[in-house]
Chains A and B, each alone.
Chain A
Amino acid sequence: MNNIIVLPMIVPIITAIFLVFLRDSIKLQRIISLITMVFVAVVSIVLLQLIQTEGILRLDFSGWAPPFGILFVADSFAVLLVLTASIVTAICLIYAFSTIGPRHERMFFYPFVLLLVAGVNGSFLTGDIFNLFVCFEVMLLASFALIALGGEKFQLREALKYVLINIVASWMFLLALAYLYGTLKTLNMAHISQRVAEVGQEPILTLVSLVFLIVFALKAGLLLFFWLPGSYSVPPTVVQALFAALLTKVGIYALFRTFTLMFPFDPEVTHTLIGIMAGLTIIAGCMGALSGHDVRTIATYNVVIGVGFILLALAIGTEEAMAGAVYYLIHDMIAKALLFLIIGTMVFLTGEIVVKNMSGLIRNYPLFGWLYFIVMCALVGIPPLSGFIGKVLIGQGAVETGSYVLLALGFGSSVIVLYSLLRIFLASFFGETSISEDDKKPIPRGAMVSFMLFALCIVGLGVGAEGIAVYVNDAAYTLVNPSVYVDAILNANE
């Protein structure tokens, strides 16, 4: 029994509810929501240490032993992602304080963000696949509200499409769960893994796993990302950053869990398919990033490229590639959040969204310009920034297994990322300044603080990669050896 595992989910929910009652005291709302996210980050650091000393932890809700009850499981992979999600949200909240405006703040902006984080953390921590569905829905309902918050004409239109696509995706999730329950009669992820290993992964089970693949591909934006550019460009900047950092990552996490823990025995079909899908995602994302004229489109297609790149690691499947994927996931959450915040601020400063119409921003805002340069280098994977180590490890895995096509695609995409972001840098930051000194809007101080904190995380993660190597390697080891996870759930007695 480790009640601490449930805190990253339940504390945001409780504070979200408290904030509903504090609707009119905006200052108090800000302070409480920030404290909550910092608290969750501290809890996850404690959890990481506990996992190092005591192995994988689990919490059986109301004492129902697995496989009968619902449970939360904390292994290094999940907790690292919880930690990153909490830090990213905390820094995004600092950005929101100075930019989102009292109208949104009074319309329950902070409660919705906290509920979103609760859903995300719950999805990472749960050890029961139906509970994963429920946490997904908590997260999605909060995201529905956040995307429509403000009620602009185009916002409501895109929100409606986003909600409809997610309803169909959730329907497919339930369909997959029905098939799974019909074939295996269990919903506990460790128990599923054990039963699949016992009976062997017959074609029917592979079919079930492919339905899951479609569901999570829709959520993660793996190949089925047609909904992503539209809906990620309408909400306020900070919501865009949260979506880009968190939502697709939950889908990616679910894909990793499904195909490393539950259905890892038929890689000729499943992992090959994931490899092909990831490759196509990268190609399509690159085309989108190259052809885009407005900064938001370029940024959203960079999210798509990132998704494809991380899932290359799942297709490769060696321990090194997995460690690379964990590193890259953490990096991608931080860097994408910063990229979206900077892009949103550019739009706010110039009032333009087309790359060509902005220029000379670096003369007015030198520090801002160089922060963009840092995030660009990190996304491309230039050492010593955070993207480097992940890319190298995934590349190493690809060389080991001889998947040279995937290797070429992965590193080719880095060049395209560099080109698409450098285009913005050269066109929008250099050149004649389009803003005169008189009507230069200042960047809010809170926004600058959050940029600096993100940049610090990027540099810190790059330079201090050795420091979290213990946790990342543990996460990768568990991913490659699912029996460790299964033993901790089903065979350990308390």
Chain B
Amino acid sequence: MKVNDVILKTVVRMVVFIVLTFGMYLFFAGHNAPGGGFIGGLVLGSAIVLLYLTYDIETVHKGMPFDFKKVAALGVLLATGTAIGSLFFDAPFLTQTDGYFTIPILGEKHLSTVVLFEAGVALTVIGTLVTIILSISEDE
């Protein structure tokens, strides 16, 4: 069945970038304000799901040739990796650290390992979300 979905495709093409930007904003805002890896990951994942809904699986897969199960696994690895990293510095499990660093051009910035942990969470959420949707929609 051929569906005329010009409006959907045109709108999604623009909206996806807005959603992705908002997702990234939520992810970074989580350090000091409402937001964080889980919610940011959900929003980013929903943008990808939106793409899958509008275009078919093959088209999207050409642009993003990831196995999303492995994306989720990478996320868990990153999150547990930062947790276990503290073992090598003789600090209790899960200890996170932060500090102020002077970066050329950007100036002094506050960096912390929590961001890496949160990135792991976000990747896990994106991976799981897309895997769930794909595993339902892949068969007829």
Contacts and interface: CB of A to CB of B under 8 A. Distances in A.
Interface stretch (B22-30, B48-56, B82-90): B82-90
A59 B77 contact: no
A21 interface: yes
B131 to A, nearest CB: 12
A3 B93 contact: yes
Contacts of A10: 80, 83-84, 93
Contacts of A72: 93
The 6 closest A-B pairs by CB, nearest first: A20-B73, A62-B94, A62-B95, A61-B94, A6-B93, A63-B92
A99 B63 CA distance: 40
B86 A62 contact: yes
A60 B92 CA distance: 7
A22 B93 CA distance: 27
A59 to B, nearest CB: 6
Interface size range of chain A in the complex: 10 to 19
A63 B91 CA distance: 8
Interface string A1-44: 10100100010011001101100000000000000000000000
B76 to A, nearest CB: 5
A62 B96 contact: yes
8 contacts: A1-B92, A3-B86, A6-B93, A10-B80, A10-B83, A61-B92, A62-B96, A63-B95
Interface majority SS (helix, strand, loop, mixed), chain B: helix
A323 B84 CA distance: 35
Nearest to B69: A20
A293 B86 CA distance: 55
Contacts of A1: 91-92
Interface string A52-70: 0000000111110000000
Contact of B70 (A13, A21, A61): A21
A20 B71 CA distance: 10
B72 to A, nearest CB: 8
A59 B87 CA distance: 12
A72 B94 CA distance: 12
Interface of B: 69-70, 73, 76-77, 80-81, 83-84, 86-87, 91-96
Nearest to A18: B77
A63 B86 CA distance: 11
Contacts of A3: 86-87, 92-93
Given A1-B92, A14-B81, 14 more contacts: A3-B86, A3-B92, A10-B80, A10-B93, A13-B76, A13-B80, A17-B76, A18-B77, A59-B93, A61-B92, A62-B94, A62-B95, A63-B91, A63-B95
Nearest to B87: A3
Contacts of A14: 77, 80-81, 84
Interface in A50-99: 59-63, 72
Nearest to A61: B94
Chain A, interface SS category: helix
Nearest to B78: A17
A1 B92 CA distance: 6
Contacts of B94: 61-62
Given A10-B80, A10-B83, A10-B84, A59 B73 contact: no
Contacts of B84: 10, 14
A18 B93 CA distance: 20
A13 B81 CA distance: 11
A2 to B, nearest CB: 9
A18 B91 CA distance: 24
Contacts of B70: 20-21
A73 to B, nearest CB: 13
User: Counting chain A CB atoms within 10 Å of each CB, which of B86, B94, B96 scores highest?
Assistant: B94
A153 B77 CA distance: 34
Contacts of B76: 13, 17
A13 B93 CA distance: 14
Which of A1, A20, A60 has the most C-beta atoms of chain B within 10 angstroms of its own C-beta? A20
Contacts of B69: 20
A62 B117 CA distance: 13
Contact of A61 (B73, B77, B80, B93): B93
A61 B83 CA distance: 9
B80 A59 contact: no
Given A13-B80, A14-B80, A62 B73 contact: no
A310 to B, nearest CB: 31
A489 B91 CA distance: 19
A61 B70 CA distance: 28
A326 to B, nearest CB: 27
